[in-house]
């Protein structure tokens, strides 16, 4: 049986008591709904150039229109999809790599540990955003899925370290010995007994990763390194930059959306960590 440090219910209770974390959860849910229902709820076709150019926010176009006469609000709602896709997808990829490598390094130790941790060290040292710019700019086709994959492949090392140190201490506990005694295989011990106990800290890092991926994806699009065919908050901002003096709403609102999304994920991550380990309040 699993030996949870805290029961999920008690974690939820503490999470709920944290007002910031709840706010984060609410914001994230709203944005998630936006992403899921986007095409159904938007008032106008985000691609259609139906309106006057550069209209300031008014009753018809809540957040104004852009330089081609498209409704900014509709585009913002649809932009949520890319951010969420890259954020959640990228962090899922990074989490799977980090968890598996970290768990193997911590459980088997010896040369496996040595090799995996040296790779991790090297990855941690490389300025990842620089490498991302290099790789992405060399791509012939910059689809968001590829960017998501690259982000996921590059950011896992921190998690691998976290998981490794958790597993290192968990593998010495009695329940691991018990599992071994009844003849459980290594893989079974890792995935059924050890990792569920490390789930908390993994989850915290995963939420933070989502925030990182969303931030980096929007930065890439802002620098003109995103998928040019898709609507994303970063590329809307890039456009807004050109009209900073004449149309402030073009730069303001996409940024607010990125900010809120990243903030929400960070708040959830913070709340989760506090709920899991009250000793660590506010620790990075």
Q: How far is CA 261 from CA 82, 88, 115, in A?
A: 12, 12, 36
Least distance to another protein from the beta carbon of 71, Å?
21
List 53's β-bridge partners, or say none.
none
Least distance to another protein from the beta carbon of 125, Å?
5
How many angstroms separate the CA atoms of 26 and 78, rounded?
19
Q: Decide whether 188 or 241 has the Cβ nearer to another protein.
A: 241
Q: Decide whether 5 or 260 has the Cβ nearer to another protein.
A: 260
* Interacting residues toward another protein by CB under 8 A: 20, 118, 121-122, 124-131, 133-134, 137-138, 211, 215, 218-219, 222-225, 237, 240-241, 244-245, 248, 251-252, 254-255, 258-259, 262-263, 266-267, 270, 280-284
Give the SS3 label for residue 167: helix
Question: What is the chain's length?
Answer: 284
Q: Decide whether 194 or 214 has the Cβ nearer to another protein.
A: 214
Least distance to another protein from the beta carbon of 280, Å?
8
Least distance to another protein from the beta carbon of 225, Å?
8
How many angstroms separate the CA atoms of 153 and 35, rounded?
24
Q: Decide whether 51 or 253 has the Cβ nearer to another protein.
A: 253
Q: What are phi and psi of 71, to 5 degrees?
A: -75, 120
Three-class HEC string of 2-38: CCCCCCHHHHHHHHHHCHHHHHHHHHHHHHHHHHHHH
Q: What are phi and psi of 65, to 5 degrees?
A: -125, 160
Q: Decide whether 19 or 188 has the Cβ nearer to another protein.
A: 19
Least distance to another protein from the beta carbon of 57, Å?
15
């Amino acid at each position: 049986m699993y030996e949870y440090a805290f029961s999920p219910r008690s974690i939820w209770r503490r999470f709920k008591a944290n007002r910031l974390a709840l706010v984060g959860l609410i914001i994230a849910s709203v944005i998630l709904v936006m992403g899921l229902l986007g095409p159904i709820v938007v008032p106008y076709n985000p691609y259609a150039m139906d309106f006057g150019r550069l209209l300031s926010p008014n009753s018809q176009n809540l957040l104004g229109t852009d330089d081609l006469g498209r409704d900014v609000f509709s585009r913002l709602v649809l932009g949520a999809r890319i951010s969420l896709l890259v954020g959640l997808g990228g962090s899922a990829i990074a989490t799977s790599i980090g968890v598996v490598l970290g768990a193997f390094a911590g459980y088997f130790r010896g040369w496996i540990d040595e090799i995996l941790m040296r790779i991790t060290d090297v990855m941690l040292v490389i300025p990842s955003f620089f490498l991302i710019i290099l790789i992405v700019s060399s791509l012939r086709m910059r689809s968001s899925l590829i960017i998501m994959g690259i982000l996921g492949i590059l950011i896992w090392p921190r998690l691998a370290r976290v998981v490794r140190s958790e597993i290192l201490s968990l593998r010495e506990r009695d329940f691991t010995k018990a599992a071994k005694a009844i003849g459980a295989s290594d893989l079974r011990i890792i995935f059924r007994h050890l990792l569920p106990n490390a789930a908390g800290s993994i989850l915290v890092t995963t939420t933070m990763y989502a925030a990182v991926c969303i931030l980096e994806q929007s930065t890439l699009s802002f620098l003109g390194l995103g998928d040019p065919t898709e609507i994303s908050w970063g590329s809307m901002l890039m456009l807004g930059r050109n009209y900073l003096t004449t149309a402030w709403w073009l730069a303001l609102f996409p940024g607010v959306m990125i900010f809120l999304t990243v903030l929400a994920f960070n708040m959830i991550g913070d709340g989760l960590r506090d709920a899991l380990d009250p000793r660590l309040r506010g620790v990075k």
